[in-house]
Structure formats: C-alpha cells, structure tokens
Amino acid sequence: MKRTTFFTVTFICIMVIFAVLGSVSAGIYMNSVRQNDNAAILHIITAIRQKYPAVSEIDIVKILNDKTDDSGTQQMLKKYGISENDWIFPKNETVQFAAVINNVLLFMLGGAVIFAVFLVYVKRQNRDILQITGYLSKINSGHYDLCLAENAEGEMSILKNEVYKTTVNLREQYQNSLHDKISLKDSISDISHQLKTPLTSLMLMLDTIIDTPDMPDNMKREFLCDMKNSTEHISFLIQSLLKLSKLDANSVDFLKKTENMQDLLNDCIKKTELLAEIREVNVSVRCKNNHSLFCDKKWLTEALTNIIKNCIEHTPSGGSVTLSADEGKFYTKITVSDTGCGISREELPHIFERFYKTKNSSANSIGIGLSLAKSIIEKHDGYIMVDSQLGVGTVFTIKFLKNLP
C-alpha cells in the first residue's frame, strides 16, 4: 500500500472512531438527562398524589401529555429565579457540565492523535527526502549503485527509482556522446591519414608539371593519368566515408521490398565482371530462382559487391569465387567463397575494422569495403561471419533472420 493512501486511511479511521465515541458520549448524556427528568417528574407526581388524593391517574396522564401554552408557567418560574436558559432540575446542570468536559477532553484527545499521525507522516517524508538528497549527492560523486532491496512501494521509492533511471539514461547519453567524440576523432585522424598520401602525390605532380613547362607530352600524359587515379582514389574514399557516416547516424532510409535472390546476385557479378576479367578469376552463382529476400536492393548489392571484390582481389589468376544462396525456415543465407590466399587467424578478428588492411592486401586497398558491407548487412537485421585458411581460401557467410509470426 502506498504511504499516502495508508495515512489517508488511518486518518479516516481515527475520525470514524472519535465520531463513534462522540455519539456514544452524547447518547450517555441524553440518557442521564432523561433519567433525571423522569425521576423529578415521578417525585412531583408522588407529591401531588399525596397532597391531593382526589386527583385521579387519568388526570395526571392528561396533564403530562397536554401540549397547551406554557407561557404562564414560565412567567411563574421566573419569579423564583428560573429562566428559560436554566435547568429546572439541578442534576441536569451537573450532567451538562460533565458532558462538556467529556467532549472537550475527547476532542483534545482526537486532535492529539491526528497531530501525532501527522507528525509521523511528516517525519517519514523528511527522512525519505533526506535519503533522496543523499542519494543524489552520491550520484553527483560518481556512485551509481542502487540497492533495490531498500525500496518499497511508496511514492518516495518510486521517485528514487525514477531518479536512478534518469541518472542511468543521462550517464548512457554522456558515454555515447563521449564514444561518438572519440569515434569522430579517430575517423578524422584516419581520413586525414588516408587522404594525405594521394593529396601529397597530386601536389607533387602538379608542381612538377608547372615547374617543367617543356616536359615531354608522353611524360605529361603519364603524370595526368596518375593524377586521375589519385583523384578517383580520393573520390572513392570520400564516398565510402559518407556512406559509413550516414549508416552510423541512422540517416539512411532503406527502401525494402521482396527481391529475387538470383537477380540480386547477378547484379553483383555484373559490377565486378571487369575486375574478374582483369585478374582472370571465374565468378559463378548457385541459387534457385524461387529464393527471395526482403531488402533494399541498391544498398545490399553494394555490400555484396564489396565482399566479392575483396575475394577477387585475394584470388590468384585461374582461381574462382562462388556465390550461393539458400533459404531456410528461420533465415536466408548467402555465401561468398574463394580459392584465394586466405587470411591468418590473427587477422580474422580485425578484417571488418575500418581502414584495416591484411598483409596480402594490394597497395591501392583502402580497408573500408568490408566495414561498409558489415554495416549495411547489420542494418538489414543480418550478420556476417568469416572463416579462412591460409593457402586454401576464405568463406563469407551472411544470414538474414526472418520475421516469424
């Protein structure tokens, strides 16, 4: 029971008890008055019968029940000092005084009990407020522990729990903000590092062209080709970083719909077809035409393309990359496997980290493709795993859980 409700019920019970006691006291008082009045009237009747024997019982009863005007009798009593506000029978005056004293004492007792209950309530409220104040002081000092065993069901306990929840939320927001700042700092540092080399190369080549006006055309053309490659490298890096930033900020609106898996994988192959021809790597698809997946085709195609590119780049000439899809009751699985050089056990836990490049990566590799692919897959409620063996090949397994009814 909540504390306020408890004290409200207690107050009502006290009021009811004293109301009953007051009613009982009034009843006792009225009964005493009735007894005194009856005793005095009986005394008068007895005296009348003794002094006037001729008066019959019927006449006495008629006199007692008569409701005629008593103004003459009242005037007679005033001659002897008995007014309308005085008690005709002295015993009733004593009973009245006792009743007044009894009611005053009863009222004082009731007030004292109610005041005591109020003091107990205020004392407990003050104690709980001091506890909350002390708890907030502990929170401000960096102590976030909350002893749930001390909490009851009262308002103050609810307030304490809400303060704890608010504190935890604020701390989580602070930690997330701090984590975001650190991530932003690291990202800026990584971006600066990645852009430094191609930008330096561009500046050097431009300076060389400017400082050498008589440079042969074939050498100038070679410089311009290198500059074009550097700008393409920078453009690709910036575009990839922008995509990652959008994914991190949850600002990408995925347009998901049911897509045919075979069409999806064929689009991925078309995007990597030129690279596969240059490296003389065979890329094939194994997928039934009835398999489907609820996804954003554009974004998921980019994720799978990045994985396929990675496999092609790490597969020697004459090797193969195989894409397969399978649809089960609980998930849809996509597998991308190659017959490449493989990844060492030490490097496997890091391959999805941004800007991480394995020992076998090419010089032009940025180390951002797999990280981007992982982010896109996770935004599609999926997860990616990798298994590899040096000299044998690598297998990427992607699973998308289905929404079961």
Based on the fold, state whether residues 381 and 298 are members of the same structural domain.
yes
| pLDDT top residue among 346 and 10 | 346
Task: Using pLDDT thresholds of 50, 70 and 90, give the confidence band for residue 6.
Answer: low
Convert the pLDDT of each residue in 324-362 to its tens digit.
998 888 888 999 999 988 888 888 888 888 777 777 776
For residues 319 and 123, give the distance between their C-alpha atoms in angstroms, rounded to a whole number. Answer: 83
CATH number of the domain to which 239 belongs: 1.10.287.130
In a domain, 237, yes or no: yes
**Do residues 309 and 369 make contact, with C-beta atoms less than 8 angstroms apart?**
yes
Q: Which residues contact 369 (CB under 8 A, 6 or more apart)?
A: 240, 306, 307, 309, 310
Question: Is 188 in the same domain as 134?
Answer: no
Considering the domain boundaries, does residue 151 fall inside one? no
Classified as helix, coil or strand, 250 is coil
For residue 285, pLDDT over 70 is answered with yes
Q: Say if residues 304 and 336 touch (Cβ distance below 8 Å).
A: yes
- Quick one: 181 and 280 in the same domain? no
Is 395 a member of any domain?
yes
Domain hosting 200: range is: 157-248
Residue 182: band (very low, low, confident or very high) from pLDDT cuts 50, 70, 90: confident
pLDDT at 1: 46
Q: Which of 109, 140, 171 is the last residue of a domain?
A: 140
Q: In this predicted model, what pLDDT tens digit does every residue of 233-264 receive, in sequence order?
A: 788 777 777 777 777 777 778 888 888 989 99
pTM: 0.54
Domain shared by 134 and 185, yes or no: no
- The residues near 196 (Cβ < 8 Å, ≥ 6 apart) are none
- Does residue 365 share a domain with residue 311? yes
Which of the residue ranges 3-12, 99-108, 125-134, 260-269 has the most confident prediction, judged by mean pLDDT? 260-269
Q: Is 267 inside any structural domain? A: yes
User: Tokens 């927001």 sit at which residue?
Assistant: 173
Both 295 and 318 in a single domain?
A: yes
Alpha-carbon distance 396 to 388, whole Å? Answer: 9
- Helix (H) or strand (E) holding 319, with range, is none
Which letter, b or e, does each residue of 103-117 get, where b requires 16 or more Cβ atoms within 10 Å of its Cβ? Answer: eeeeeeebeebeeee
Same-domain check for residues 376 and 265:
yes
What is the distance between the alpha carbons of residues 98 and 75, in angstroms, rounded to a whole number?
29
> With 0-12 CB in 10 A as exposed, 13-18 as middle and 19+ as buried, what is 172?
exposed
The number of folded domains in the chain is: 3
What is the per-residue pLDDT across 31-66, written as a single tens digit (0 to 9) for each? 676 666 667 667 777 777 777 777 677 766 776 666
- Domain annotation covers residue 147: no
Within-domain flag for 152: no
Q: Do 275 and 374 reside in the same domain of the chain?
A: yes
Q: What is the CATH number of the domain that holds 313?
A: 3.30.565.10
d(CA 55, CA 239): 128
Last residue of a domain, one of 93, 112, 140: 140
Tell me which amino acid residue 262 is.
Answer: Q
Decide which of 248, 271, 300 is a domain's last residue: 248
Same structural domain, 229 and 346: no
Same domain, 108 and 22: yes
Identify the bridge partners of residue 322 per DSSP, sorted by sequence position: 284, 337
Q: Does 146 map to a domain?
A: no
- The Cα 84–Cα 104 span in angstroms is 25
Same-domain check for residues 220 and 297: no
CA dihedral 325, 269, 255, 396 (to 10 degrees): 50
pLDDT reading at 201 higher than 60: yes
- Non-local (6+) Cβ contacts of 236 within 8 A are 366
Judge whether 373 and 366 are in contact, CB under 8 Å.
Answer: no
Q: What is the pLDDT of residue 115?
A: 75
Q: Is residue 136 part of a domain?
A: yes
Phi, psi of 233, rounded to the nearest 5 degrees = -60, -45
Same domain, 326 and 294: yes
For the chain, the average pLDDT equals 77
Residue 165 has pLDDT above 80, yes or no: no
